Amino acid sequence: MRRAYLSLFVCISLLLASCAKPDFFDFFGGNNHPTPEPPRPDCELPLPDPSTNATTTVEVKVIRDCTGTYIRYHEKDYQVCNFEILKDIEDDKIITVELYRMESCDNPAFNDLIVCMMAHENEGWVNILSVQ
């Protein structure tokens, strides 16, 4: 009977250890889990704060679904405010664009669009100035 309880205790301990936050182990005198790497700066859209309207030129992939038009840069999607500029570009095509980030989008073309209720995770708005 003791052996069964001991096995159950070991299983529960292993389960808790795999689900616990790293600082849980620090309380008990050590963290055997590696610290996660910080995000690589070259994977973020290389733009300053959206309020500055500074521009940059990057290579991106065009993504469309029922929620709108997006550009994908290093596996992160950004919703395109002036989506009309990409109307002749195929989905999944790699293009080079000059753009800037925006805090919000006030494009009146969105008023007439019918979009689905699906959520598309994204990093915010961008406005495309030119497509090369």
| pLDDT tens sequence across 85-96 | 999 999 999 999
Rounded CA gap, 48 and 63, in Å? Answer: 23
Q: Is-contact 101 73, C-beta < 8 A?
A: no
Q: Which fold has domain 41-131?
A: OB fold (Dihydrolipoamide Acetyltransferase, E2P) (2.40.50)
Q: Is-contact 83 109, C-beta < 8 A?
A: yes
- What is the domain partition of the chain in residue ranges? 1-36, 41-131
- Closest by alpha carbon to 129, among 94, 68, 87, 85? 85
Rounded CA gap, 128 and 55, in Å? Answer: 9
| pLDDT tens sequence across 93-114 | 999 999 999 889 999 988 777 7
